[in-house]
Structure formats: C-alpha cells, structure tokens
Amino acid sequence: MPERTRERLSEKPSEGATRRELFQIGNALALPMLLGGAEAVAAVSGPLRPGPEIYQSIGVEPVINCRGTFTIIGASIELPEVRAAMDAASQHYVQLDELAEAVGRRLAALTGAEWGMVSAGCAAGLKHVTAACVAGGNPEKLIRIPDLTGCDKTEVVIPRSSRTAYDHAIRNIGVKIVMVDTPQELEGALNPRTAMIYLTAGGQTQSGPLALETVAGIAKPRNIPILVDAAAEVLTIPSVHLQRGATIVAYSGGKAIRGPQCAGLLLGKKDILMSAWQASSPHHGPGRDNKVGREETCGMLAAVEAWVKRDHAGEWKTWLHWLDVISKRVSAIDGVKTAVREPTALSNRSPELTVSWDPAKLNITGEEVAEDLARNKPRIALGAGGGRRGSEPDPGSTSISITAWMMQPGDEKIVADRVFGVLSRQRSPRPAIKAPAANLAGRWDVDVEFFSSQSRHTLFIEQEGNRIQGTHKGDFAVRDVFGTIEGDRVRLRSASAERGSGDSVVFIFDGALSGDTILGPIYMGEYLNAKFTAKRHGYPAGGAPILVPGGPPLAN
C-alpha cells in the first residue's frame, strides 16, 4: 500500500504498517544510500556485460535487499515464471486490445473479480481509473484531459488520512481534490461533480471513521466509484477490498506479487476497467505516456497464475529460517538483543528481525550501522532507528531491522557476517562535541542551486550552544528547521508535508562555515541533491527616530 513522506528516523513500522506509513519513514531509513553512496563503492565503468555482474560492468554496485519492496532499490525480483512469460511474449506480435480482452477475462477467472487489467505500474493504474471516472469512456472528454472544462465529473474525494505522494497520479488528470475527515464531511462533499473516492488500503481504511464499509455505504447509493490503492499488499482471492465495497482495487505488480517491475494490477468492475484501458496506451490521450507492453501484460498474468499456486506457508518458513541464521550470529555479541515480528496485516507482510543494543556500549547507532552497510561492499539495505519506551524515544537503545521477503538464498549468511562484523568492531567512545565556531543566530539568505535552476530561500536561526532551531522558508512552504553546529560544520534539517497534499520535501543542509558564509550540499532524499550558499543577512543601517503620527495622513 502507499509509502509516504513525513520522515521520522526514530520510528519503526507498526504491525500492519501500510505502504503510506512505511513511506513516512522509509525514505529516511534509506537515506544513507542516497547521500553519495555511489562514490564509496564506485567501480570502473565500461561496456555493459549481461550476466551476474551486469551492474558492476557499468560501475554500479548492486544491493542486498533486507528493506522491503521499495521501488528505489528495485522492489522485488521477478519470478522465473514471469521472466519466461515475458521472454516468450517478446518473440511475437499481437494486437494489444485483443490481448487486454483475453487477459482481463483470465484475471477475472483467477481472482474472482468481475474484470482485470494490467497497467504500467500501480500509480499508472490510479491515473487510468481516474481518467475513466472523469471521461466515462467518452473519447471527446478523454482527449481534453487535464483541461476539464465542460466535463461534469471533475472532483475526487480523498480522506485526509489517505493523502500520499502517490495521489499525484490522480491529480495528473486535472481533478479538484476534496479532503474530508468524517462521514458527515464525506456526505457533504459528494455531489454531481464527484468522479470517484480514493482510499489507501489499511490503517484508517481498515478501522477508522472512514473505513471502507462506511465509505461504501455512503457512496454506493449515489453510484460513486471507490478506488482502493493496495499497492504493497499481498493478493487476496477474492479481493477483500472488493468484498468490503470497493469498486476497483489497484496493486503493484512488482512488489508482493513479484511480477514485472513496470506493471500494475487492477481488479473490479468491467465497465470502469474498460474505460481505464481506453485511457491507457496504446491509445492516444492522457495515458499514452504510461505504456504497458505485451511483455509486461503477459508477465503480470503469469505472476497471478503463479500466485494461486505458490507455497506461501513454505516461503514464510524459509524467511524465518533466514532471520534465525542472522539472529544466532549477531546474538553472540555481548549486549545485542534480537526479536522477530510476524505481522498479519496484508501490506508489506513479511517477518522482520530487530537487532537492538545500547549505543553508549557499542559506540555506534542503528543509523550509523545502516550507513556502513549501505556504503561498503557487499551493500545491504535495511531499516534503522532509535529505540522507544512506550511513546517516548529511549536514548539507551538503538536498532536495525531486517525484512526477509525480498532476500535471496544465500543472502542470510552474507548479512549475518556483515552485521556481526560491524557491531563487533571495537570503537572508542565518541569524542566530545566541538564548541561552535560562531553564533549563527539571525537571518540567513540562502541561494540554492538545483540541477537546472536557482532559488532564494531564507533561514531564521536561533542557537543555544551546539543546538540550532528556527525556520526555513522555501519557495512555497515555511518549515521548522533543526540542527547542530560543531566547530565550523553546520548540519540542518527541515521537513514537513506540503499544505493540502500528501507530498513532503526534505532538506538536509551540510555546510562549512567561513566568516558570514555557509557553503555546501543539500540532500533532498528521493529528489537527489542540490548546492547552497547561505550569507548572513545585512540589515540597512537604522537608528533614525520613528515619528508615530497623531492621526490619519493628510496626503498620500
């Protein structure tokens, strides 16, 4: 299910974490891999050599995935049956409408849904369904998107708890997003302009005030479709979401189902899915840019065919065995504790091993372990965070988390050795923090250099010893900023959701202070890097007395 952005490094996924909840913390935990990681593991780049070292041949070091189905590290590895189907499909030509008809019919037979469709990823599927609900299969309306002038269906209702970065796919159609928090607000928001309702699976959709059954009870009498985004969920047959009242449910093909990385799976009402297919490539219109080929279509069908026959219980036992191998190895380190969590929710359903310790005893934090494993070969992606005592952070505990379901045979021994090696290494206690080289309190004018443009930001800083807090004003949002100054090294972080959307942009400033200038890179997580130059703001000379008038002006 959705991933999402407001990052909180110390938090761990709760049981039944949704794609939305994982996205809140996922990018933060994956961040070490984005901060120039290629430099530390750079290989010599040469011509592409297909084979076991295809990535190394062009200078890219692959990653062992102990994190989960995150797209940024490849999500999942396609099943052999999927690759075989894609290879066979690539050897022949086929009329794509005929293929879509046959695959839709077969997906219905396999899943119990009325119809099925393969899209170019889950997000593309969200876009196509939105276009279908706006245009209703009318090509004259379809080709006008995203200009909805003259269209009668122009609004999509989304509970605030379902807002994510993924609803860009819906907004791309040009619809107005209407947010609601209660069933009463939902009833008031629905009107003849409402094209559909969008929900993210799990979380509030499962048991909150706007649970799917509640929404369906309000929407169905008004004939308003409900689209449920279940991207990272395991496939239930029949779909629990359709049974609970959804009109369409969307899955990622390249996550739990282990189909093609560039495929999504849509199940539900045939009339809407036929309109969604009309809005998809190879047809012209707003979905032409989301092309799904014959290879991905057959690969996705093969993944669903395999899903109904896979030994899911056997896979689970294998994953637990891998985590046991790692647990036994690292538990030999004095002070290290391990625990395995076996979630039962549908989203990101995989056993997970938590390895925890007192950072004051081993002189390293979970985030630093994740950084080491991400930087050095063999590279390993895993989660990290601080411990918690109830709802409060626990400074006496830190941890890493290892998710099993995307690991490959043999990875468990490599991971066990690497984690053991990092945690068992002798380290000196942390040196005392350097005194700040200056007091940064005040206003700083910040020139930001992006890849192909520049922008002016402003920092308003308060400083107490080494600690910094204040405000970061960007182009469109004002955020709280926190950080430190150690000697002349200035590190600041700002992050918050953009107003009225599920988006968030993170800025991590890492600068060197010289006089009244701070210079360095900005790390922006999934949006890569930028550069900044901050200069202390120079106020004009003041001191002239200010006359307070005794009444209104006599002239302008």
d(CA 479, CA 67) in angstroms, rounded, equals: 29
**The pair of three-digit structure tokens given for residue 370, joined into one six-digit string:** 């994740």
The answer on pLDDT for 75 being more than 50 is yes
531 within 8 A of 521, measured Cβ to Cβ: yes
pLDDT of residue 41: 54
**Count of positions (residues) in the chain:** 556
Quote the Cα angle for 358-359-364, to 5°: 140
What tokens does 44 get?
A: 């010599």
The 3-class SS string of 472-484 reads EECCCCEEEEEEE
DSSP-derived 3-state class of residue 459: strand
- pLDDT value, residue 43: 56
Q: What pTM, to 2 d.p., does this model score?
A: 0.88
Q: Alpha-carbon distance 177 to 171, whole Å?
A: 7
R_g of the chain, CA atoms, integer Å: 26
Which tokens hold the place of 357?
A: 């310790």
Q: Provide the pLDDT for residue 498.
A: 62
Q: What is the Cα–Cα distance from 250 to 238, expressed in whole angstroms?
A: 14
Q: How far apart are CA 395 and CA 286, in angstroms?
A: 51
pLDDT in tens, 474-521: 999 899 999 999 999 999 999 876 666 778 899 999 999 999 999 999
**How do the residues of the chain divide into helix, strand and coil, expressed in percent and rounded to 5?**
30, 25, 40
Name the band, by pLDDT with cuts 50, 70 and 90, for residue 391: low
Which tokens belong to 530? 């930028």
Domain with CATH 3.40.640.10 in the chain: 80-307
Q: Which two tokens stand for residue 419?
A: 């984690």
452's tokens: 């192909």
Tell me how far apart the 2 most distant CA atoms of the chain are, in Å. 88
Q: Determine the 3-state secondary structure of 2 from DSSP.
A: coil
Q: Where in the chain is the domain with CATH 2.40.128.120?
A: 442-536
For the domain covering 80-307, report its CATH number. 3.40.640.10
Element (H, E) at 26: helix 19-30
CATH of 442-536, one of 3.40.50.300, 3.40.190.10, 2.40.128.120, 2.40.37.10: 2.40.128.120
Task: Report yes or no: 162 and 156 within 8 Å, Cβ to Cβ.
Answer: no
Distance CA 120, CA 280 (A): 9
Average pLDDT score over residue span 517-539: 95
Lowest mean pLDDT of 17-21, 40-44, 54-58, name the range: 17-21
Q: Which residue has the tokens 């699976």?
A: 201
**Helices and strands in the chain: count of H runs, count of E runs:** 17, 21
Of 95-104, 288-297, 384-393, 416-425, the least confident: 384-393
DSSP state of 113: S
Task: Assign domain 19-70+312-424 one CATH number from 3.40.50.261, 3.50.50.60, 1.10.3720.10, 3.90.1150.180.
Answer: 3.90.1150.180
What does the pLDDT read at residue 127? 98
Q: Where in the chain is the domain with CATH 3.90.1150.180?
A: 19-70+312-424
Cis peptide before 378 (omega within 30 of 0): yes
pLDDT at 25: 40
State mean pLDDT over 539-549.
84
Taking only the tens place, the pLDDT of each residue in 124-137 is 999 999 999 999 99
- Give CA separation, 92 vs 86, 98, 293, 452, in Å: 11, 14, 12, 42
State yes or no: pLDDT of 8 exceeds 60: no
Per DSSP, the residues of 420-441 read HHHHHS--PPPPPPPPPSS---
CA–CA distance, 235 with 308 (Å, rounded to integer): 9
Nearest of 253, 245, 242 to residue 224 by alpha carbon: 245
DSSP letters spanning 500-551: TSS-EEEEEEEEEEETTEEEEEEE-GGG-EEEEEEEE--PPP-----PPPSS
| 156, two tokens | 């999509």
